[in-house]
Amino acid sequence: MSVLLIPVGLSMASIITSLFFLALAAFIIQRFKYNFWIALFLTGVLILTTHEYILPYLLNTKKAFEEFSDVDPDFEFLFQLDKESIPQELIPIIKKYELNIGKAFKVKNEMFSKLDEYWYVGIPVSQEKHRTSIFEELNDTGILKSLEYNEQFRHEKLENDIFPSTSFVYKTNDPKASDQWSLAALGLLNNQANVVNLISPKKSALIAILDSGVIGNHEDLSDNFVSINSEYQKQVSDHGTHCAGIAAAVTNNRLGISSLIPSKDWAQLTSIKVFNVLGFASQKRTIEGMIEAAEIGADVISLSLGARSFHKSETAYNEAVKYCNALGAIVVTSAGNSNESARKFAPGNSENVLCVAAVDNKLNRAAFSNTVEDIEYGLCAPGVNILSTVSKKKYERKSGTSMSAPFVASSVALLKAIKPNLTTEEAYKLLKDNGRFINEEAGYLIQPFEAVLALYDQLEPI
């Protein structure tokens, strides 16, 4: 017997707000009932503005954040079960608490992953008070291979430090490049950046930004951007667009900023939106995005997201990373912004990911940054006062390990461009061995072009 119910996925606040604007639309139609076209036009404008602007604004208020739960309210748990249908041992629990149960993930290449063994559990609002008991009862059946909470998370907004104005000479024609201290920290003052222009990449690596959406037609992104779904270009916040600019803003286009990517012959960019209209994402939705990215052929998957982990080992994330690796993608994650060990946060604590801490302009670990000394593949990159793209033709500075991860994603893309079958371990070794040691907590600061030249020398020895 298989129980499969589809939860609506809307909060009470969103339902009430939507009903209000539907009533307003009905009033407009009634008011202009003798002029159908005016009524239709005004109703259309109302629906569009409500969906794109009013509803997200109203629901992304302080009250919504105060009500934030660390578990997805629609799909509270994920469990792994190597059966095609729900076994009899679970039926009494499902009926007792009226649970919604269904297959969590679908993959095209089942031989590379056990993600098809994962199920979601949705708890009705009336039973939410029994969440802990439900978890314990499911776990006590002894038939589940794993059971874990489906963490929910949102982006944090950190205050930028006030740096003294600095500039340096970086040989691009992008007007804001001289304001990017991060480029100097990554070694772009050196001649290596120019030497890379003499190398012919074997492919254009694809970087997938899994975030809040990316404005792909931004003036400084469009030439490097590949759209796979127009919905992914409608941003919930400008966080995703900011990360995209760090990873692959167009260099030498006489606009805005520069990135590590010399041209689209080396790397291109795409967006997969995993945050909802309220600004929340979850483990389940992130994994769905990882599956999608891997299956469209992404070479690098950049995750500037995460949450405190309920478990020492997040088995679903680990399976997702395995699947991505099997399809040729390297996964890069942010370490987190709680000044703790990244080992306590997912997906940064997943197996076989590059987990990135943040440093400031003095090359000290940023005060907010989680540490990576307990992470197998821990690195660091600039993450304070990082100038990058936001909405329309604008540019802003943001801080966080969210900003650090795309620098590493961009660096890995350069490496994959000249060695397409590069593994996570190989990428880490190149970035570490050619990086600059900061300290145990932050690890090695990447020096991307040093790593590129080292790899090129390996592949094309003189």
Q: Give the active site residues.
A: 211, 239, 402
Residues 253-281 as b/e (b if ≥16 CB within 10 A, e otherwise) read bebbbbbbbbbbebbbbbbbbbbbebbbb
Residue 333 exposure: Cα atoms within 13 Å on the Cβ side? 34
Residues 311-341 as b/e (b if ≥16 CB within 10 A, e otherwise) read eeebbbbbbbbbbbbebebbbbbbbbbbeeb
Closest by CA to 417, choosing from 199, 129, 198, 101, is 199
Backbone phi, psi, residue 166, to 5°:
-135, 155
d(CA 9, CA 6): 9
Provide the angle, in degrees to the nearest 10, between the axes of the packed helices 448-459 and 401-418. 20
Estimate the share of the chain in helix, then strand, then coil, as percent rounded to the nearest 5.
40, 20, 45
Contact yes or no for 228/272 (Cβ under 8 A): yes
Classified as helix, coil or strand, 278 is: coil
For residue 201, how many other CB atoms are within 10 A of its CB?
Answer: 20
Contact yes or no for 317/283 (Cβ under 8 A): yes
For residue 447, how many other CB atoms are within 10 A of its CB?
Answer: 21
Ramachandran bin of 443, using left for φ above 0, alpha for ψ from -120 to 50, beta for the remaining angles: left
Tell me which H or E stretch contains 185.
Answer: helix 181-185
Contact yes or no for 56/291 (Cβ under 8 A): no
Length reported for the chain: 462
Write the DSSP string, 136-192: HHHHHTS--SEEEE-BEEE---PPPP-PPP-----SS--TTGGG-HHHHHTTTTSTH
Contact yes or no for 329/322 (Cβ under 8 A): no
d(CA 95, CA 336): 39
d(CA 334, CA 305): 6
Contact yes or no for 414/200 (Cβ under 8 A): no
